Structures are given as structure tokens and as C-alpha cells.
Amino acid sequence: MRLCLRCGAGFTGDTWRCSQCGFEPQVLGGFPAFAPELAHAEEGYDPAHFSALAELESRNFWFRARNRLIIWALGRFFPGARRFLEVGCGTGYVLSGIAAAFPALEIAGSEVAAEGLNFAARRVPAARLVQMDARRIPFRGEFDVAGAFDVIEHIEDDRAVLRALREALVPGGGLLLTVPQHPFLWSEYDVHARHVRRYEAAELRAKLVEAGFEIVKMTSFVTLLLPLMTASRLSQQKTQAGYDPLAELRIAPALNWVLEKILDIERLLIRTGIPLPAGGSLLVAARKLQ
């Protein structure tokens, strides 16, 4: 159900006009905007990076490997899904991968920064896209699966996001998350990425349970590259003038290929159920409790 954030009534028909209170969201760049006051804010992410990311994502080993892991998890843990929502879809890179892997899936995406939605619309023309605050999702019981991929670490009140995601799901619906892991890896990269935190597995598990989810699968990834990542991040723990947070995404093709193959091996380990207790990131599959 699409929900009016003003009065709580459900929208009817194909429009976003509430028949109860008359509320209708603004339209920004052709997209319904439920948090227009945040559409051009820079609190959680620098919108100037969207253009560079849109160019780099499809070639960079980390984004490519993460996409394959997400697609595997969606098919493995929620094979019967018909409707999927990605919160914080950015430039639509993950959405485009999911759309290609699951062509029958009805796909929706949201982004608080209006600049990202134009990129997402070009990548996934069939997706239903809205601008919104992840803490106030205008859907109730609408989606079989929702995903937020390296999103909630940008938001101070991550508990509110998890509660809102739960409400957007059908009973028993699924949730997929990826987040950065290990506070000891905190560096200038996290500052410029506008992260609020890096997670410990126990912290994220506790917050998910508190929000009304049961954990289906939790695993680290970027495990085999953790020594390399640790050395890189520890060298960045002091403030650096002229720091470029996208520099580490611009990797020589040969090295990029090698790193991607290492993460492909890691994904095979995850698929076989081998526990990976440490890694640069966490993947979680969870299910909404009735």
C-alpha cells in the first residue's frame, strides 16, 4: 500500500494524490518527492559524486563483486519475490543488476538526493522511482523484499530506517543489507563518504532484532582483501589536504581484474556456507517477523 505521510491514509488509483486529505507530493525532475527539503542537502552524501560514480561503478571490482553477491543473496534467500524496493539506490547500479538478473521482478527505488534519480532512471527505465527520506517510507506492506546497500551507515537514526523498512514489507518479507564493518577501519575515507559509523556484526544484529527482524544470513565480505584494506585505511587515519575519496576506485585494469577474481573466490566460499567472521563489509539477509 502507498501511504500518505500526512494523514496516514492509503493512496488509491494510479496517482499520488491522497483522497482523504488532498496531499500530493512535489515533483522534482519528474519524480515524486516526499522529502523535498532534503533533496539537495549534503548531509548524508555529496551529490557531486554521482556523476563520477556512474562512470566508475560498472568497471570497479568492488561494485561489480558486491552486485554479484547481492544478486546471489536475493535469489538464494527470497526466490519467490515479486516486488522489490531499493532504498538509497544512488545511480541505479544495483537496481540495473537486479533488473537484468530477475526480469520478472517489479522494481522500485528511492534516493534522498534528487541528483541520483536521473542516473537511476536511465539505467533502469522500468523502475518506479521516488525521492524520499529513508526514515519515512511512503509504503506499508507493499514489497516482498527491500534492500539498502551501503546506505544506513550514512544516517544517524539507523533504527528509524530499519523500522520504516520493516513497515514497507509484506508479512514475512525479506530485507537485504550491506554495510561497512569494523570501527578500527575508520579513516579519512569514511569522513569524506559522510559515514556516521562502521558496524560491528553484534551491533547490527541487535538493531535488526529490535526492529522486528530475524536474521537469515549474516556474513562478512571483502575478507580476503582485509589485510590490504587495513593497510590502506590505517594510512588514511590522519586528515589529509586535498584528499580524493574516489581515488581508490580508479585502479589500473590489471589490478582491478585480480581483485575482482579474489572476491569471486570469496563469494564461492560464502555460497558454500564457510563462515567469514571478519571483512571490510557485512551482508545481511533478514526476514520480517509476523
pLDDT (tens, 9 = 90+) of the chain, 290 residues, equals 888 888 877 787 777 888 888 888 999 999 999 999 998 866 656 666 788 888 899 999 999 999 999 999 999 999 999 999 999 999 999 999 999 999 999 999 999 998 899 999 999 999 999 999 999 999 999 999 999 999 999 999 999 999 999 999 999 999 999 999 999 999 888 888 889 999 999 999 999 999 999 999 999 999 999 999 999 888 877 766 667 777 778 899 999 999 999 999 999 999 999 999 999 999 999 999 97
CA distance linking residue 290 with residue 287, whole number of Å = 9
Per-residue confidence (pLDDT) for residue 47, from 0 to 100: 65
The 8-class DSSP code of residue 37 comes to G
For residue 206, count CB atoms less than 10 angstroms from its CB and return exposed for 0-12, middle for 13-18, buried for 19 or more.
exposed
Per-residue confidence (pLDDT) for residue 240, from 0 to 100: 65
The 8-class DSSP code of residue 236 comes to T
The beta strand positions in the chain, using DSSP E, are: 26-28, 31-33, 83-87, 106-111, 128-131, 143-149, 169-180, 213-221, 281-288
**What pTM was computed for the model?**
0.93
Per-residue confidence (pLDDT) for residue 44, from 0 to 100: 54
The enclosing H or E element of 226 equals helix 226-234
The beta strand positions in 195-258, using DSSP E, are: 213-221
Dihedral, 85, 48, 181, 220 alpha carbons, nearest 10: 50
Backbone φ and ψ of 148, nearest 5°: -140, 110
How is residue 122 written as a grid cell? Answer: 536511465
Helices (H) and strands (E) in the chain, counts: 9, 9
Closest to 96 measured CA to CA, from 59, 124, 60: 124
Paired residues of 131 in beta bridges: 33, 111
Per-residue confidence (pLDDT) for residue 246, from 0 to 100: 76
**Beta strands 106-111 and 83-87: pairing type?**
parallel
Percent helix / strand / coil, the chain, rounded to 5 = 40, 20, 40
DSSP string of 3-25, one letter each residue: B-TTT-PBP-TTSS--TTT----
Per-residue confidence (pLDDT) for residue 241, from 0 to 100: 67
**Beta strands 143-149 and 169-180: pairing type?**
parallel
**117 with 40: CB under 8 angstroms?**
no
